[in-house]
């Protein structure tokens, strides 16, 4: 039986971490500003793990039996390593079919190329063949040059977490 992937709620100070986790396929709710009480309530109701730099928030959550991980530093490799110490991640693979929207955390669905016409730059339509649509905000994604950088990031993570 495979273990269910952890789901997160990410504190306002960690927006880039939320985006990275989404690209890696992890459901990561994020608000650029939210009161601690609301964040704790969402975490409790949705059984999300809180990722925060706020020691007080971390303690508050833990006192309510909510898993909260205190994140230190700004390096995303280091931050994900810190999460890994509490929750053992499986091997990281950048797979667009499992990634989530970096903007709204929606799920990405493969779409036919013709559905992207007029919605993305012409040059991308000529270069790329595979496209994904966010089922939340309707943003269209493709595997551009950033995909290779993300794969390198995943490889660095995997090497670090072995």
Q: Where in the chain is the domain with CATH 3.40.50?
A: 8-86
Residue 31 CA to residue 12 CA, distance in Å, equals 6
Q: Does the domain formed by 8-86 have CATH 3.40.50?
A: yes
Say how far apart CA 1 and CA 151 lie, in whole Å.
27
Q: What is the mean pLDDT of residues 34-51?
A: 96
CA angle 20, 22, 25 (to 5 degrees): 115
Specify the higher pLDDT residue, 96 or 46.
46
pTM: 0.87
- The Cα–Cα gap between 13 and 124 comes to 33
Burial class (CB within 10 angstroms; exposed 0-12, middle 13-18, buried 19+) of 136: middle
| Residues 74-100: tens digit of each pLDDT | 899 999 999 988 888 777 777 777 889
Distance, C-alpha 49 to centroid of its chain: 13
């Amino acid at each position: 039986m495979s273990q269910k992937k952890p789901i997160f709620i990410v504190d306002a100070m960690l927006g880039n971490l939320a985006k990275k986790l989404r690209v890696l396929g992890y459901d990561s709710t994020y608000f650029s500003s939210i009161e601690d009480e609301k964040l704790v309530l969402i975490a409790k109701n949705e059984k999300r793990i809180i990722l925060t730099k706020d020691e007080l928030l971390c303690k508050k959550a833990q006192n309510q039996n909510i898993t909260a991980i205190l994140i230190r530093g700004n390096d995303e490799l280091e931050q994900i390593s810190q999460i890994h110490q509490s929750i053992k991640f499986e091997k990281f693979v950048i797979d667009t079919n499992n990634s989530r929207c970096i903007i709204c955390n929606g799920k990405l669905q493969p779409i036919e190329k013709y559905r992207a016409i007029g919605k993305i730059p012409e040059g991308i339509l000529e270069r790329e063949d595979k496209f994904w649509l966010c089922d939340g905000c309707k943003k269209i994604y493709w595997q551009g040059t950033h995909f290779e950088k993300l794969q390198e990031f995943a490889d660095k993570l995997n090497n670090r977490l072995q």
